């Protein structure tokens, strides 16, 4: 089974992103920073927040769904707000997306907020609301089950250091996982956590027997050349001891975001 976790960066490297997820052919694709605008076409828009303007694919979820027709897509919104195409306003949702190969059965799932709550009339106050999605799969090929969860951790203007809100976020993630995961099977937890490797987040998640592969493999960079700031950690992939790691890679090339994709093959 192949699992990929990636902050999609709103599809800013759209063509490269679509090509990569198609060719990498994951069984489970966990994406953060995805937009969806039901009832519209597809194309470019601009996200505005004060002096910040960022290009975004306003219907990235639909585009990824079209690129992966053999997968079921689950969209998990945190907020709904305005994007702009010139003077035209596009109302879109922002959140997580999970894509699962249709040959696997989703036998349980849970979705909840780990920080804040759904914002229906704008992107929300900083730090913006954040959620997590947890699924339990049955693999018919191997007659086995696995639980996979991913999260987009809150962004704090003060940096990636530990805060009470981040500790509460980790506890909320555990609560969500425990609603789905029976506790006696393989568990994978991944995403853009927006924390540093020494964060108390990992101490909290260790209660479930989880250990991080990024730091465990001695890797020091999960960002691409498009990220120009210091502090090169953001994304993590954690597993319980039952997970047999056949391959783990922090993907250096191609660059499809300002985050590197995390790729896990399970034996």
Domains of the chain, each with CATH number or no CATH: 2-266 (3.60.10.10)
Q: What is the pLDDT of residue 230?
A: 86
For 202-236, the pLDDT digits (tens) are 999 999 999 999 999 999 899 999 999 888 999 99
pLDDT > 70: percent of the chain = 100
Q: What is the pLDDT of residue 117?
A: 97
| For residues 105-116, average pLDDT | 98
Closest-CA residue to 39 (of 90, 99, 74, 80): 90
Q: Give the confidence band of 146 by pLDDT, cuts at 50, 70, 90.
A: very high
Instruction: Name the packing angle between helices 60-67 and 14-24 (round to 10°).
Output: 40
Number of helices and strands in the chain (H, E): 5, 14
Q: What is the pLDDT of residue 231?
A: 83
Residue 59 has pLDDT above 90, yes or no: yes
Q: What is the pLDDT of residue 188?
A: 99
- What are the residues facing 75 on neighbouring strands? 97
Residue 50 has pLDDT above 90, yes or no: no
Q: Is 37 helix (H, G, I), strand (E, B) or coil?
A: coil
| CA–CA gap between residue 218 and residue 213 (Å, rounded) | 8
């Amino acid at each position: 089974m192949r699992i990929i976790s990636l902050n999609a960066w709103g599809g800013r490297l759209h063509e490269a992103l679509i090509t990569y997820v198609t060719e990498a052919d994951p069984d489970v694709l966990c994406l953060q920073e995805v937009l969806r605008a039901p009832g519209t076409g597809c194309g470019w828009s601009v996200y505005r927040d004060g002096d910040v303007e960022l290009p975004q694919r306003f219907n990235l979820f639909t585009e990824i769904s079209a690129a992966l027709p053999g997968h079921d897509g689950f969209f998990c919104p945190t907020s709904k707000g305005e994007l702009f195409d010139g003077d035209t306003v596009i109302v879109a949702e922002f959140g997580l997306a999970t894509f699962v190969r249709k040959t696997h059965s989703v036998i349980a799932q849970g979705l909840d907020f780990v920080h804040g709550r759904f914002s229906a009339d704008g992107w929300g106050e900083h730090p913006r609301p954040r959620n997590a999605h947890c699924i339990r799969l049955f693999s018919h090929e191997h007659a086995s089950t696995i639980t996979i969860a991913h999260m987009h951790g809150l962004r704090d203007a003060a940096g990636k250091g530990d805060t009470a809100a981040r500790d509460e976020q980790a506890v909320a993630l555990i609560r969500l996982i425990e609603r789905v995961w029976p506790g006696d099977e393989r568990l994978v937890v991944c995403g853009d956590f927006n924390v540093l490797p020494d964060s108390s987040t990992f101490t909290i998640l260790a209660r479930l027997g989880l250990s991080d592969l990024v730091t465990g493999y001695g890797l020091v960079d999960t960002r691409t050349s498009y990220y120009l700031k210091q502090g090169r950690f953001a994304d993590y992939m954690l597993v319980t001891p039952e997970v047999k790691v056949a391959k783990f890679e922090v993907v250096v090339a191609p660059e499809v975001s300002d985050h590197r994709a995390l790729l896990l093959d399970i034996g």
